[in-house]
Amino acid sequence: MIQRHPGDPDNDSPGIQVFDAASDDDLLRIGWRLGVSGVRLCAGCAGFAAVLANLLALSGPPPQVPALEKILFIACGSVNPVTRRQLDYAEQAGFPRFRLLPEEKLLPEWLESRDCAVKVKYWYKTATQKGVCILDTNDPPGGPDAKAVAAERGLDLQQVRIRISHTLGQLMRRLLDNGLEATLMCTGGDTLLALMRAVNVTELTPVCELDTGVVLTHFTYQRKNHYIISKSGGFGEADLLCRLAKLTGAGTMQKEDISCLRNTI
Query: Rounded to an integer, what distance in angstroms lies between the CA atom of residue 14 and that of residue 2?
Result: 9
Q: Which domain range does residue 181 map to?
A: 72-261
Domain containing residue 82: CATH number: 3.40.980.20
Query: Rounded to an integer, what distance in angstroms lies between the CA atom of residue 249 and that of residue 214?
Result: 17
Q: Which residues of 124-158 are buried (b: 16+ CB within 10 A; e: fewer)?
A: bebbbebbbbbbbbbbeeeeeebeebbeeeebeee
Q: Is the dihedral of CA 195, 180, 174, 77 positive or negative?
A: positive
What is the three-class DSSP state of 123?
Answer: helix
Residues 154-200 have pLDDT tens digits of 999 999 999 999 999 999 999 999 999 999 999 988 999 999 999 99
**pTM given for the model:** 0.78
What is the three-class DSSP state of 47?
Answer: helix
Into how many domains does the chain fold? 2
Most confident of the ranges 20-24, 33-37, 101-105:
101-105
CB atoms within 10 A of CB 200: 8
Does the residue 127 lie in any domain? Answer: yes
Is there a single domain that holds both residue 108 and residue 149? yes
Is there a single domain that holds both residue 107 and residue 35? no
More confident of the two residues 129 and 56:
129
